[in-house]
Structure 1
């Protein structure tokens, strides 16, 4: 492959995706003051919106999520590791893939309105899927120290106690979404070669 055949858009999109992974690792290590505000939702939306190839739109963000998870689990959360990852990881990855889909479906044209709508939808999607997994997997009720009851009351309590985390996901989606989408849109205007679809 010659240098002329490389698409600069791919390189810049990957820089945004991997920057999100780095920010997540730093936040997980309590290196930033915003440790509970994650860029992963915005990263999923960004990948879904900008990669025209379905393989790339899911593959690159999921790979970045996986690598950042492995690094965080080995460096900061070893007591929670089960193999390379953590218990219930599959639900996080399903919710993440669903957030990529939200980006594909809602952000057909990048605008403040579409990004905000997608940020809200992604936070709700993550909350519904990931916390269903917490409940289904026998997660612990932080108010009692006991597993959630296996009934609708237990599920509702699990969702209710997870609202602050969903709120943090929404804040992260909005803040990092503004940075990622705004930054890339400005870069495309400054460098027209970045607008060539991949």
Structure 2
């Protein structure tokens, strides 16, 4: 593979990542039944599957997550901000890194079944990690009661149960946006040979 063949591919992959971040920011603040319907999970799977260098597959999606978080926490969600980000942000980033890893491990070839499997696994992994972080957080308030989750098995299970609607929307958004991102990039590779990896 020559640098000439890699350069346009890298630029287009990076543009996909940036578009996902922009879509997330522009949708911020709209509390609807589709809250948490975000392209970020699909973006992380996309980066994990397509970037040849593993460090790029983590760096660019995580950097996009960080920049979009900073913008949203300093504008739309300023009341929840703790510095640039929010309490327990590292749990979200750990969950997000797990999504990138899922893309690397499960999407060896871009086919429908691996993408669907990765979308499901990514949504569940992120839910388990991020909601565990919510439960561990000092400000782990149950929005329905205004009381903190108890630091026991029952409190953890209640925290996970409260996150189920978000899990559903994360899963749906993973499937929808993965279909768009992977489908569009595969189509572009077919039409523009310079975007394809030549072996």
TM-score range, shorter chain: over 0.9
**1:190 equivalenced with 2:197 (yes/no):** no
Tell me by how many angstroms 1:29 deviates: 3.9
Aligned to 1:108: 108
How many Å separate the matches in 2 of 1:31 and 1:169? 14
Tell me by how many angstroms 1:141 deviates: 1.3
Aligned to 2:117: 117
Tell me by how many angstroms 1:117 deviates: 0.4
Dislocated runs of 4+, deviation >4 Å? 3-6, 31-35
Instruction: Within 5 Å, give how 1:19-30 maps onto structure 2.
Output: 19-30=19-30
Q: How many residues align?
A: 195
Q: Name the stretch that deviates more: 34-43 or 3-12.
A: 3-12
Tell me by how many angstroms 1:144 deviates: 1.6
Give the TM-score, by structure 1 length.
0.93
Q: C-alpha offsets along residues 17-44 of structure 1, whole Å, 9 cap, x if unaligned?
A: 0000000001114399955311110011
Aligned to 1:178: 179
How many Å separate the matches in 1 of 2:164 and 2:88? 18
How many Å separate the matches in 2 of 1:33 and 1:153? 27
Tell me by how many angstroms 1:6 deviates: 6.4
Q: Secondary structure at the match of 2:190?
A: helix
Tell me by how many angstroms 1:75 deviates: 1.5
Q: Secondary structure at the match of 1:84?
A: coil
Q: Which consecutive residues of structure 1, in runs of 5 or more, have no partner in the other structure? A: none
Contact 1:38 1:169 in 2 (8 A): yes
Contact 2:34 2:169 in 1 (8 A): no
Q: Secondary structure at the match of 2:74?
A: helix
How many Å separate the matches in 2 of 1:125 and 1:4? 37
Q: Name the stretch that deviates more: 41-50 or 24-33.
A: 24-33
Instruction: Within 5 Å, give how 1:1-198 maps onto structure 2.
Output: 4=4, 7-30=7-30, 35-138=35-138, 139-196=140-197
Q: Which consecutive residues of structure 2, in runs of 5 or more, have no partner in the other structure? A: none
How many Å separate the matches in 2 of 1:36 and 1:177? 15
How many Å separate the matches in 2 of 1:188 and 1:134? 40
Contact 1:41 1:173 in 2 (8 A): yes
Q: Name the stretch that deviates more: 26-35 or 151-160.
A: 26-35
